[in-house]
Amino acid sequence: MSATDSDIHRLTLDGREIVLVGTAHISRDSVETVRRVIEAEAPDTVCVELDQQRRQALKDGNRWQSLNLVKAIRQGQGPMLLANFALASFQRRMGLQTGVKPGAELAAAADLAEERGMAVELIDRDLRTTLLRVWRGTGFWKRMNLLATLLASLFENHKVNEEELAKLRQGDALGAMLEEMGTLLPSVKTILVDERDLYMAHFIRLAPGAKIVAVVGAAHVPGILQHLQGEKSRPEEITEISTIPAKTTLSRVLPWLIPAVVISLFIAGFFFGDRDRLAGAALAWVLANGLLAALGATVALAHPVTVAAAFVAAPLTSLNPTIGAGMVTGLVQAFIAAPTVRDLECVNEDLATLRGWWGNRLTRVLLVFFFTSLGSAVGTLVAFRWLKDLV
């Protein structure tokens, strides 16, 4: 049995034949396997591990050209955009090593099915729902771990080839990787893998036709097989994992609590403390927030006006839970150094290198947003050292 044959699993379910194909998303062999299986099996329906947004992204390589960056930042979508770009960057760099566009096998499956007049079912959960479930389902320190992992991925230069991808498609190697993820970040592994296994198995069951070919990442094959061979999922289970969880009480209160504590300390210091110390604490608050936010903007190679805006805005936005320093600097940067046509056309290529991240005006706006926000947050923590001595 060849390596690609071992990625194919057959089962009969409710009188229908299901052919489950496990793939690596940047593998040329996976693209060829998917095409070969669909042509040979001639199924009624092809299910693919995509949602509507990702399917459109694979069909439209120039999707970033229609992005309204200013609107996205105003609506608080900066973190989501940054996470999308970081994930795309990692896949892009891996794809360059194998010469295969990330998700090419999924696009090939959907395109070939449409050409042959077969039904196409997009069975994966909405990406935004998945990312928000990850973010809201993890604690503060786990979130910091996730951010650090995303940033570290920008600096990685791991070499991968088809032989390594073939090994990764084998259950034992994937099992070891997922066990490690489950140990380090159990909630993340549950949301990214386990929940989506259940979700995709549910919609494979609902797919029309007597013969179904389902194309999914190899990491999902064991879980999907287990769900397909076990009891049917209950509708309430699918509803629950399709829902974006509400913010926790702490996450809703904390943005208001910190400014309230700071303002209370200043008021208490004014009436009951040393006025000279109060003036020093106020200066420390301005300098700690302003300088570190400005440093963050500088690290992102922001325009000088944006750096100045970071210094001015951070001490004020740190006291306003409805707006952050990163939002201000992101908007200023987007207006002053707006992405050009070239930046929009080349963003996919630029994501592959650190130089591209800083050189492309579109991604630089997001870097300005992130590093300014980080600098302001650190500045707030530093300033508390002086504030706590006011009373």
* Residue 170 DSSP symbol: S
pLDDT given at position 164: 53
As a whole number of angstroms, the distance between CA 45 and CA 207 comes to: 7
| Domain edges within the chain | 5-241, 249-387
Confidence at 172, pLDDT banded by 50, 70, 90: very low
Overall average pLDDT of the 333-362 stretch: 81
Overall average pLDDT of the 353-362 stretch: 84
What CA dihedral angle connects 290, 337, 70 and 321, to 10 degrees? 0
Query: Whose CA is closest to 149, among 104, 108, 192?
Result: 192
The model's pLDDT over 148-159, given as tens digits with 9 standing for 90+, comes to 666 665 555 555
Confidence at 185, pLDDT banded by 50, 70, 90: low
Are residues 70 and 334 in contact, defined by beta-carbon separation less than 8 angstroms?
yes
Higher pLDDT, 301 or 139: 301
349-379 as b/e: b if 16+ CB within 10 A: ebbbbeebbeebbbbbbbbbbbbbbbbbbbb
Q: Is the pLDDT of residue 2 over 50?
A: no
Q: Is the pLDDT of residue 113 over 90?
A: yes
Query: Whose CA is closest to 160, among 31, 34, 26?
Result: 26
Q: Is the pLDDT of residue 310 over 90?
A: yes
Residue 121: strand, helix, or coil: strand
Q: Is the pLDDT of residue 165 over 70?
A: no
Higher pLDDT, 198 or 181: 198
pLDDT given at position 299: 94
The model's pLDDT over 254-306, given as tens digits with 9 standing for 90+, comes to 667 777 777 776 676 666 656 666 677 778 888 889 999 999 999 999 999 99
Residue 288: strand, helix, or coil: helix
> What rounded mean pLDDT belongs to the chain?
79
Are residues 61 and 348 in contact, defined by beta-carbon separation less than 8 angstroms?
yes
The model's pLDDT over 31-74, given as tens digits with 9 standing for 90+, comes to 899 999 999 999 999 999 999 888 887 776 665 555 677 777 77
As a whole number of angstroms, the distance between CA 172 and CA 267 comes to: 61
Overall average pLDDT of the 367-378 stretch: 91
Higher pLDDT, 66 or 171: 66
User: Strands (DSSP E) along 15-77, which ranges?
Assistant: 16-23, 45-48
Confidence at 110, pLDDT banded by 50, 70, 90: very high
Overall average pLDDT of the 156-172 stretch: 51
Higher pLDDT, 134 or 164: 134
Taking residue 8's Cβ as centre, other Cβ atoms within 10 Å add up to 17
Confidence at 163, pLDDT banded by 50, 70, 90: low
The two tokens of residue 25 are: 């998303």
Share of the chain above pLDDT 70, in %: 72
pLDDT given at position 175: 43
Please state the three-class secondary structure of 86-100 as a single string: HHHHHHHHHHHHHCC
Residue 209 identity: G
Highest mean pLDDT among 81-95, 193-207, 240-254: 193-207
Are residues 130 and 191 in contact, defined by beta-carbon separation less than 8 angstroms?
yes
Q: Is the pLDDT of residue 360 over 80?
A: yes
Largest CA distance in the chain: 83
Q: Which residues partner with 216 through β-bridges?
A: 22
